[in-house]
Amino acid sequence: MRAFVLHGPGRAGVVEVEPPVAGPGEAVVDVARVGVCGTDVELYSGELQYLRDGRSRFPVRPGHEWSGRVAAVGAGVDPGWLGRRVMGDTMLGCRACRRCRVGRQHLCEDREEVGILGRAGALAARLAVPARSLHPLPETVDDALGALVEPGGNALRAVRAARLGPGDRVLVTGPGTIGLLAAMFARRAGAEVHVLGRDPATLEFAASLGFAHCWTAESLPSVPYEAVIDASNAESLPARAVEWVEPGGTVVYIGLAGTPSLLDTRALALKDATAVGILSASPALAATITAYADGSVDPRPLIAATIGLDEVAPTLAGTRPPTATKAPKIHVTPTP
């Protein structure tokens, strides 16, 4: 089958590989849609921290935001999965350690991560994953939405951590896919959502989604924010987030800068503020599927274009598909 493979920094292409076979406890999925993520860009550039610390090694087959249909199951797997439309968890814990036993398998020290760490990803015709990682998709959640569940789960966890209620004001920094999804979930929670960005075109797109309060750092009004969700990759914003949040409020960090960010913990303590870090969508995947299924959150406008496998490398290198809108997310259909 055809698969997209990263051979090294800036070296990638579509190659023929052996299709996966479902081992014990596994399912093989015919992949329908895959989202291109910032993590995939960092894998392509060689800047991902996992590569720097030796946890991930080339070659890598990326793709961890996906949807598809179960084509085969291995020994010990309920045959009822066959033919079902699914998406899957990225984080695969060992199931034996203390963290896994208490339900924190996404923090397992020995975890695999689909398309990132130790397990081939979805940028291929077929994908093999543990059946325990699968989540069924209802008919109201199409393939495009299914491939947006993983980033949506990250965003939903960020909003939950922000402890937002009706009438609260939240500032979301970084209007990329995760930031805009967080804005959508915060709006669903009844919050007044403000969006901070740098690029006027990006802020114009955010406004087109119904977010009336879109700002640059220079134009940001001096109003109280009960919570700040930092979904940016700017190393300066983690500290600014503490400046902007109300005393007693919450700062949620879900974006990652390429270099370390400096944060004065005195500012955090003197505001009696709470800081929360978010890694992984795992605990919120089912709730995200429900939100998409009932229409309370519709992230379809975030998809800028859908491309084929042969167009993935230029996309990772920074070339936007010619048909792309101003939206942030690129999707891939691995098979024609």
Taking the C-alpha atoms of residue 163 and residue 67, their distance in angstroms, rounded to an integer, is: 30
Burial code of 96-130, b = ≥16 C-beta within 10 A, e = fewer? ebebbeeebbbbbeebbbbbbbbbbbbbbbbbbbb
Phi-psi region of 112 (alpha: psi -120 to 50; beta: other; left: phi over 0): beta
Contacts of 171 (CB under 8 A, 6+ apart): 194, 195, 196, 220, 225, 227, 228, 229, 241, 244, 245
What was the pLDDT predicted at 214? Answer: 98
What was the pLDDT predicted at 111? Answer: 96
How far, in Å, are 15, 79, 224, 277 from residue 18 at the CA level? 10, 24, 56, 39
CATH superfamily assigned to domain 2-148+299-332:
Medium-chain alcohol dehydrogenases, catalytic domain (3.90.180.10)
What was the pLDDT predicted at 45? Answer: 96
What was the pLDDT predicted at 336? Answer: 82
Task: Identify the helix (H) or strand (E) that includes residue 143.
Answer: helix 143-146
Q: Which class is 151-277 in CATH?
A: alpha beta
What was the pLDDT predicted at 258? Answer: 84
One digit per residue, the tens of pLDDT, for the chain of length 336 reads: 999 999 999 999 999 999 999 999 999 999 999 999 999 999 999 999 899 999 999 999 999 999 999 999 999 999 999 999 999 999 999 999 999 999 999 999 999 999 999 999 999 999 999 999 999 999 999 999 999 999 999 999 999 999 999 999 999 999 999 999 999 999 999 999 999 999 999 999 999 999 999 999 999 999 999 999 999 999 999 999 999 999 999 999 999 988 899 999 999 999 999 999 999 999 999 999 999 999 999 999 999 999 999 999 999 999 999 999 999 999 999 998
Q: What is the pTM of this model?
A: 0.96
Q: Are strands 329-332 and 26-36 parallel, antiparallel or unpaired?
A: antiparallel
The domain ranges of the chain are 2-148+299-332, 151-277
